[in-house]
């Protein structure tokens, strides 16, 4: 998507004025993305992204927006939310929570090689360390509780073999989450959705991470697993590219050591990452919301990745 809620130029111009961003020169709906209404908002002073949140609430948003501000202030290249005269960074348009953030320079790298994976790995570790003193707390809202609630909702749409797989994996993840080894994993604010389309590069140099609206406090290892499942796979088969995975983890590890326990649980967390996006894609695909432009992601991709991770667990050997 997506423009779920059309914004008029007059309303966008008024908001830009209120945030002291200058005079609106262009407002353009963004087609990609599936969660929120996004526009590129250009003024005579700069380029911004205007987001109207379609699912997240006024209560949930401060966690994400202040996290972005916290990370930006610590030198992590993420879009900084724009405040009004009183410093408020959460706004409203048409009764919906709204934010205006800096537009990042660059493009997505949709065919990453080892060098791109290394930069994402290193920056992810820097981001995890920079988030250690973030004072707000909100769980990962797309975590185990949501999987447990959503699997029964999507189950009627699945073939018997798929239903068996999803239920078996959910039971495995529930047991894992209850284990002492899992409880010991280091945690903090994580991005939780750091796919190729949520990172910008200028040439081959990483310029930033964005789309923090699935962030939450969870294990750092889950963030690593989500990245490996996207940055280091062959998209056609879902198979892991071991060279890229090794490069990603080595770069991460040079900034923040991946502990022995994390290495041990990584294969299980890569299964968790695949399950999480299989469920959300099934949910978006079979229970879509209205949108002026909506492009649902293919659920079968993460079913393949989950089957791959179960059949061929990958172990990170520090090196
Ligand atoms: N801060 C930003 N800087 C540059 N481009 C952005 C920024 N935020 C969003 N975009 C662009 O908008 C697209 C959709 O945003 P995204 O956050 O993925 O949408 P959604 O939240 O609906 O999934 C991105 O793929 C990117 O091209
Ligand atoms: N990355 C998720 C979907 C979330 O959409 P995004 O556009 O906000 O990244 C997926 O690929 O299923």
Dump pLDDT digits (tens) for 10-65.
999 999 999 999 999 999 999 876 678 999 999 999 999 999 999 899 999 999 99
Residue 253 has pLDDT above 70, yes or no: yes
Residue 290 has pLDDT above 70, yes or no: no
pLDDT at 210: 96
Q: Report the separation in Å between the CA atom of 42 and the middle of ligand 1, taken as the mean of its atom positions.
A: 15
> Measuring CA to CA, which residue among 227, 252, 215 is closest to residue 129?
252
Residue 3: the pLDDT is: 81
What angle do the packed helices 299-311 and 220-231 form, to 10 degrees? 110
Q: Which atom of ligand 1 is nearest to the CA of 211?
A: 17
- Is the Cβ atom of 47 under 6 angstroms away from ligand 2? no
Which protein residue has the closest C-alpha to ligand 1 atom 18? 33
The CATH code of domain 114-311 reads 3.90.1200.10
Domain limits, CATH 3.30.200.20, in the chain:
9-102
Ligand 2 centroid from CA 211, angstroms: 9
Q: What is the ipTM metric for this complex?
A: 0.91
Summarised one tens digit per residue, pLDDT across range 179-222 is 999 999 999 999 999 999 999 999 999 999 999 999 999 999 99
pTM equals 0.94
- Ligand 1 is surrounded, with C-beta below 6 A, by 1-2, 30, 32-36, 38, 49, 79, 101, 103-104, 197, 210-211, 213
pLDDT, tens digit, 9 for 90 and up, residues 134-177 = 999 999 999 999 999 999 999 999 999 999 999 999 999 999 99
How far, in Å, is the centroid of ligand 2 from the Cα of 20? 31
Under a CB-based contact definition with an 8 Å cutoff, are residues 275 and 166 in contact? yes
Task: Calculate the alpha carbon distances from 103 to 38, 79, 299 in Å.
Answer: 11, 7, 29
Question: How far apart are alpha carbons 190 and 132 in whole angstroms?
Answer: 10
For residue 85, the CA-to-ligand 1 centroid distance in Å is: 26
Distance CA 265, CA 184 (A): 11
Cα separation, 257 vs 242, in Å, equals 19
Q: Whose CA is nearest to atom 20 of ligand 1?
A: 33
CA of 2 to the centre of ligand 1 (A): 10
- Digit-coded pLDDT (tens) for 71-115: 999 999 999 999 999 999 999 999 999 999 999 999 999 999 999
Q: Which atom of ligand 2 is nearest to the CA of 277?
A: 12
**All CATH 3.90.1200.10 domain ranges in the chain, comma separated:** 114-311
The ligand with the least distance to the CA atom of 34 is 1
Q: Is 140 in the pocket of ligand 2 (CB under 6 A)?
A: no
Q: Kindly state which CATH superfamily the domain 9-102 is placed in.
A: Phosphorylase Kinase; domain 1 (3.30.200.20)
193 CA to centre of ligand 2 in angstroms: 7
- Distance in Å, CA 34 to ligand 2 centroid: 7
The pick from 30, 71, 76, 100 for probing ligand 1's pocket by mutation, whose C-beta has the most ligand atoms within 8 angstroms, reads: 30
């Amino acid at each position: 998507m997506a423009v779920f809620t059309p914004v008029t130029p007059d309303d966008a111009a008024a908001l830009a004025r209120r945030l002291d961003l200058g005079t609106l020169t262009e407002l353009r709906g963004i087609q990609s993305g599936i969660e929120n209404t996004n526009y590129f908002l250009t003024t005579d002073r700069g380029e911004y992204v205007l987001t109207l949140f379609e699912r997240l609430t006024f209560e949930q948003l401060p966690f994400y927006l202040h996290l972005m501000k916290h990370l930006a202030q610590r030198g992590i290249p993420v879009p900084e939310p724009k405040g009004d005269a009183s410093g408020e960074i959460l706004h409203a348009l048409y009764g919906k929570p709204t934010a205006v953030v800096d537009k990042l320079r660059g493009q997505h790298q949709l065919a990453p090689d080892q060098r791109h994976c290394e930069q994402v790995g290193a920056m992810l570790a820097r981001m995890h360390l920079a988030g250690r003193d973030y004072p707000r707390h909100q769980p990962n809202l797309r975590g185990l509780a949501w999987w447990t609630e959503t699997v029964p909702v999507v189950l009627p749409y699945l073939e018997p073999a798929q239903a068996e797989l999803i239920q078996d994996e959910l039971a495995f993840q529930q047991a894992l989450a209850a284990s002492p080894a899992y409880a010991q994993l280091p945690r903090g604010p994580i991005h939780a959705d750091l796919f190729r389309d949520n990172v910008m590069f200028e040439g081959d140099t990483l310029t930033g991470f964005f789309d923090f609206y699935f962030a939450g406090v969870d294990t750092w290892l889950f963030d690593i697993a989500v990245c490996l499942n996207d940055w280091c796979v062959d998209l056609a088969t879902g198979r892991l590219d071991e060279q890229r995975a090794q490069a990603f983890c080595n770069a991460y590890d040079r900034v923040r050591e991946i502990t022995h326990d994390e290495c041990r649980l990584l294969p299980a967390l890569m299964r968790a990452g695949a399950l999480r996006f299989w469920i959300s894609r099934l949910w978006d695909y079979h229970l879509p919301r209205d949108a002026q432009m909506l492009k649902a992601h293919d659920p079968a991709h993460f079913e393949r990745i989950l089957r791959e991770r179960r059949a061929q667990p990958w172990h990170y050997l520090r090196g």
